[in-house]
Structure 1
Amino acid sequence: MTEELRPIQAERLARELDWNLLRTFIVLAQSGSVTRAADRLRLKQPTVSSALKRLEDRLGRKLIHRKPGQFELTEAGTLLLKEAVEIQGSILRLGTLMRDVTDEVRGHVEIAMASHVVSPLFDDTLREFHECHPAATLSINVSASKNALEAVTSRRASLAVCLVRDRNPKLEYLRLFREFFGLFCGPPHALFGKSDLTKTDLAGQSAVSFVTDRLEDALRPVTLMRAEADLEDRVVGTSANLEEVRRMIIAGLGVGPLPVHVVKRDIAEGLLWQLPPYDALPQIDVHVVWNPKAKLNRAEKALLEMLLEKIRQTPIEERTYR
């Protein structure tokens, strides 16, 4: 290729290159497989593979080495990914600027949330939403997951972030993150600070827990964990609020379940002590739930779309808190 032809080719590429091909390539490169990329894009695998081939043909470069057990960006693919991500950022910033100048988003967002949801992804979404739409307002109402779902069903809430046991076909669901529950006791408890404990040491100990810690409810795996530990059948204290369950455990009322990633600081500060089992802990999924029939204002729609897009762009491994 001569030097005289290169500017012509570059101009043609800028004119004819489809942005959707670049967007698909970004998701594909970040996902590490066609299957995961197709799931995130909600496309069929052949469609994703075809998009990659069209992009490679357009650029005249191999972008990804693919064969069984191998998925690796070429040097050209690595360079393209860096540039494409910058282009994507510029497009997103341009859209935000245009909205701020010509069409400011206003309105109130009502979020129904289970107690003490700890999710960096959700926090980042709230921050970005406020930066993009400073005129919008929001409120977060904490309640039991059952009540949060009822608020969305009745359209009293814009969306819910909560546990889900049985799915209502009238609602839409997307997993926000996965957490793991362990059993804990507080400083007054006889087992506090003891090492080399086994599940047999927990037999007959009094228990505290959540109101949803029942076989027929959202915390069924936690109920089974308590049963396997042979804790006392009678639960001496319950609450729908994680902070209150935590309070009862720290106060020494009994052994109770808590999300491990939420109480790391309490463990470090000597307020809680983890008890067996230490492996194969029950996993609980926290979902974003919304009503597709609800007429959302522009602020509600903007926050929901932003949150769902961020979830879909983030692999579940990065949304799993161990």
Structure 2
Amino acid sequence: MSVDIDTKFVLQLDWNLLRTFLVIAEEQSITLAAHRLLRGQPSVSLALKRLEIELGCRLADRGHGTFRLTAAGRRLYTECSDMFGGVGQLPEAVREAVNEISGEIQILLASHVVTPLLDDQLKALSRDHPNIRFSIRIDTSARVIQAVRERHASFGICLVNRKFPDVDFDLLYREFFGFFCGPSHPLFGRENLNMSDLHDHAAVSFDTEDINDALRPVALLRSKWGLDYDVVGRSSQLEEVRRMIECGLGIGSLPIHVTERDVASGRLWRLPPYADPPEVDIYLVTNPAKRLNRAEELMIGRLKRVIADTPLAERTYKTAF
């Protein structure tokens, strides 16, 4: 295989010659360059001659106390300055590469997890570490916890009915559920209602609205006021429960802070109880036995710091608009 002249030059060149020439050009003197390089003057002069032979041209006019770079010498000096300037940046570039965080974060959420506490961290990590990739999946709270226990997810955010000893549960935020109806419902637009007015109306609910499940507080209120006798629709997804309520299938419960825009736009109507609605805690669920990549460590660490640094009152969403 043939090798062209330029490639042969690169392969055979002694790069120390370029470094020596750079110092000679900067000092404009063989003698001063030798002092700076802690080498003898003959050695530095020989290095310059060797480089000129390699390149096939004269790089400097010297003699009788004068030193002046030729046109070729000035061009080579510019190229060497750029090259060695880039080499000087290598340690910083390597450190930046080492500090760059990448990897995939697999997040499992219950369907009604709506909080800036999570959104702010997603924004920050995406901005600061563009090589991080995110995978977000919605599932029931029970399956979210199961996936975290089995180490299939980086972490989960969901309601919690039962706390297992092999995973950690950190209270991320507290929300309140209210009852709502859609525009076609007979109670829509009516004010000053009481709980008895909701009796005998059909209902829609989350699958977890059971006294033995995650939405126990809501289920207890339903049971107390007889709102659980005629359930015409169920879903584990917030969007589908909201859809059924809006379409007039029945009365349903939703997180109050999530419905603010829908109420303001006339798509939903808030029903009693107006005071002391059921409260539900949403947890960050992590598995200390899971081996985390750096991206997962960073994300979980940030969420835990937010929890530790933010009083619960500031992580509790309002009960009224």
TM surpasses 0.5? yes
Q: How does 1:1-322 map to 2 (within 5 A)?
A: 100-322=96-318
CA displacement 1:72-112 (0-9 Å, x = unmatched) = xxxxxxxxxxxxxxxxxxxxxxxxx9974532111111000
Secondary structure, in 3 states, of the residue corresponding to 1:194?
coil
**Distance in 2, Cα, partners of 1:142 & 1:261:** 19
AA matched with 1:191: L
User: Tell me, which stretches of 5 or more residues in structure 2 are unaligned?
Assistant: 1-92
AA matched with 2:205: S
**Distance in 1, Cα, partners of 2:215 & 2:96:** 43
CA displacement 1:50-76 (0-9 Å, x = unmatched) = xxxxxxxxxxxxxxxxxxxxxxxxxxx
**Distance in 2, Cα, partners of 1:99 & 1:246:** 50
**Distance in 1, Cα, partners of 2:186 & 2:95:** 60
**Distance in 1, Cα, partners of 2:280 & 2:112:** 14
**Distance in 2, Cα, partners of 1:108 & 1:299:** 7
User: Tell me, which stretches of 5 or more residues in structure 1 are unaligned?
Assistant: 1-96
**Distance in 1, Cα, partners of 2:200 & 2:300:** 46
**Distance in 2, Cα, partners of 1:312 & 1:176:** 10
Secondary structure, in 3 states, of the residue corresponding to 1:122?
helix
Cα 1:266/1:138, change in 2 over 3 Å: same
Aligned 8 A contact 1:206 1:253 in 2 = yes
Cα 1:122/1:232, change in 2 over 3 Å: closer
Residue 162 of structure 1 deviates from its aligned partner by 0.4
Cα 1:133/1:205, change in 2 over 3 Å: same
AA matched with 1:311: I
Aligned 8 A contact 1:184 1:258 in 2 = yes
Cα 1:100/1:311, change in 2 over 3 Å: farther
TM-score (norm 1): 0.68
TM-score (norm 2): 0.68
Residue 232 of structure 1 deviates from its aligned partner by 4.7
**Distance in 2, Cα, partners of 1:232 & 1:284:** 19
Cα 1:100/1:303, change in 2 over 3 Å: farther
State the superposition RMSD in angstroms: 1.5
**Distance in 1, Cα, partners of 2:94 & 2:161:** 41
Aligned to 1:94: none
AA matched with 2:159: L
**Distance in 2, Cα, partners of 1:313 & 1:132:** 21
> Rg larger in 1 or in 2?
2
